[in-house]
Amino acid sequence: MALKGIKKERKFKNSWLDENCFKGWLDENCFKGWLTPHPVENKAFCLLCKKSIRCTKTDLMRHPLRAKHIEKVNCQSLGNNNNNRDNNNNNSNNLHAENVKRAEIKLAARIKDSNGDQMFSTLESLIEVMFSLPHSNAEAERIFSIVSDVKNKKRNRLSNDIVSAICIIRSSFQTQGNNCLNFEVEPRHLELHNSENLYKK
């Protein structure tokens, strides 16, 4: 009979609050005002929800997305300014959602592969540019929804160049009013349409 090893759980260390690598992360707007070390246990603690949180990046990133936490954030912002109740609620929801998105993107940009190289090194700069546009949210969501439509579980082997080309063609078709019914396929369109070009890395 094989014995399974005991799973060790990472404990929150107060010294993390003084380390430079964590200071910037803990100063993010989505963590300000609620994330603190637990007074008794070696865990993180949410001041708004009065709940302890395991010290994993996943749990710390998921907690502000929970409905109860968002409700507490909204209640806190409503309590601070009763005069602009409706505006505050919408603004705090939008601001909170934007801050959570930015924190998730920054976290994803720091993910490394087995060789220690950053996996999504250009993702953060792309998203920052997209969010800086005046019509940023709609444009960014539209672009990424096209990518998720094109590259899904059944078509996950497409190269990045092909995915990019499909997104450009799809956007071009939409602006010109073309679709599969009125587009005429010519022989030159099919010359490069083979498995070697579609799936090369």
Please write the tens of the pLDDT for every residue from 78-123: 555 554 555 555 666 777 777 777 777 666 666 666 777 766 666 6
Average pLDDT for 129-156: 66
| Backbone CA torsion sign across 39, 40, 44, 50 | negative
Average pLDDT for 2-7: 63
Look-up of token digits 């300014």? 81
Domain end position, chosen among 76, 111, 128: 76
Q: Regarding predicted confidence, which is higher, 83 or 151?
A: 151
Domain end position, chosen among 24, 43, 76: 76
Spatial separation of the C-alpha atoms in residues 103 and 60, rounded to whole Å: 11
Angle between helices 67-80 and 85-109 (to 10 degrees): 130
Number of domains forming the structure of the chain: 2
Establish if 178 belongs to a structural domain.
Answer: yes
Q: Regarding predicted confidence, which is higher, 31 or 134?
A: 31
Establish if 2 belongs to a structural domain.
Answer: no
Q: In this predicted structure, what is the pLDDT of residue 86?
A: 54
Look-up of token digits 């993910």? 111
Establish if 117 belongs to a structural domain.
Answer: no
CB-neighbour burial class of residue 163 (10 A; exposed 0-12, middle 13-18, buried 19+): middle
Average pLDDT for 7-11: 62
The 8-class DSSP code of residue 188 comes to H
Q: In this predicted structure, what is the pLDDT of residue 50?
A: 82
Q: Is the pLDDT of residue 151 over 60?
A: yes
- Kindly report which listed range (118-132, 141-155, 179-193) carries the lowest average pLDDT score: 118-132
| Secondary structure of residue 145 in the 3-state scheme | helix
Q: In this predicted structure, what is the pLDDT of residue 80?
A: 57
Q: How far is CA 183 from CA 67, 175, 179, in A?
A: 46, 13, 6
For residue 45, give its domain range. Answer: 14-76
- Kindly report which listed range (61-65, 174-178, 190-194) carries the lowest average pLDDT score: 190-194
Contacts of 149 (CB under 8 A, 6+ apart): none
